[in-house]
Amino acid sequence: QQNEMNSFLWTIKRDPPSYFFGTIHVPYTRVWDFIPENSKKAFQQSHIVYFELDLTDPYTISALTSCQLLPQGKNLQDVLPRDIYRRLKRHLEYVKLMMPSWMTPDQRGKGLYADYLFNAIAGNWERKRPVWVMLMVNSLTEVDIKSRGVPVLDLFLAQEAERLRKETGAVEKVEEQCHPLNGLNFSQV
């Protein structure tokens, strides 16, 4: 019973019941074993599932990528102090050098290459807004690299919902997430 108390699952008592479940943006394999059975059962029994964003929609992914970019003609070098830009560039060179040693044999067996993975995560970094570069750098750790190729919990659940032919939707639009982050000033970032 203890494992059901802290499930991040809220039930709206109606007929049929509705549920709210709080997810986090981490590879599902890190948390799946700790998700209580009542949450998994609620997901299985639901016919309609809404997510924060529709991560299975190509438009969502494209819009997320576009919103991260600086205005046309601007580069990160134009907006960051020179010393921070140089440190960032050196750090990314270090990550690129280390990435092959951070990858798992399983990732290599699935055809993932360090250069491909680095470009998938950090490609076009010089055109991104500082807040998105900060988030990107935070995800360029050995632990995070070792779990690349495993969907985050939200995406895993969305893929499961599609596989189980559940009706899906999103409660937010990309712009509702992007504009607040893009509105942060440099000192806030």
* C-alpha–C-alpha distance, residues 36 and 38, integer Å: 5
Instruction: Write the pLDDT tens digit of every residue in 63-89.
Output: 998 999 999 999 999 999 999 999 999
Judge whether 17 lies within some domain. yes
Q: Looking at residue 3, what is its pLDDT?
A: 52
Is 188 part of a structural domain of the chain? no
Confidence of residue 25 (pLDDT cuts 50, 70, 90): confident
| pLDDT bucket at 2, cuts 50 / 70 / 90 | very low
Residue 1: inside a domain, yes or no? no
The structural domain count of the chain equals 1
Asked if the structure places residue 4 within a domain, the reply is no
Give the per-residue pLDDT at 56: 84
Does some domain include residue 2? no
Enclosing domain of residue 64: 9-183
Tell the residue number behind the tokens 């409660």, with chain if given: 171
Per DSSP, the residues of the chain read -HHHHTS-EEEE-SSS-EEEE---SSBHHHHGGGS-HHHHHHHHH-SEEEESS-TT-HHHHHHHHHHTBPSTT--HHHHS-HHHHHHHHHHHHHHHHHHHHHS-HHHHHTT--HHHHHHHHHTTGGGB-HHHHHHHHHT-SHHHHHTTTSPBHHHHHHHHHHHTT-EEEESS-HHHHHHHHHT--TTT-
115 Cα distance to chain centroid: 20
- The reply to whether the predicted model has a pTM over 0.85 is no
- pLDDT tens digits for 150-174? 888 999 999 999 999 999 999 999 9
**Could you read off the pLDDT of 125-142 as tens digits, one per residue?**
999 999 999 999 998 999
How many Cα neighbours within 13 Å face the side chain of 144? 14
In a domain, 3, yes or no: no
Please check whether residue 135 lies inside any domain of the structure: yes
78-122 pLDDT, tens digit per residue, is: 999 999 999 999 999 999 999 999 999 988 888 888 998 899 899
Strand partners, 20: 10
Average pLDDT of 8-35?
A: 87
Question: Residues, the chain, total?
Answer: 189
Mark residue 72 as left, alpha or beta (left: phi above 0; alpha: psi -120 to 50; beta: remaining). Answer: beta
Burial bucket for residue 53 (CB in 10 Å: 0-12, 13-18, 19+): buried
pLDDT at 7: 66
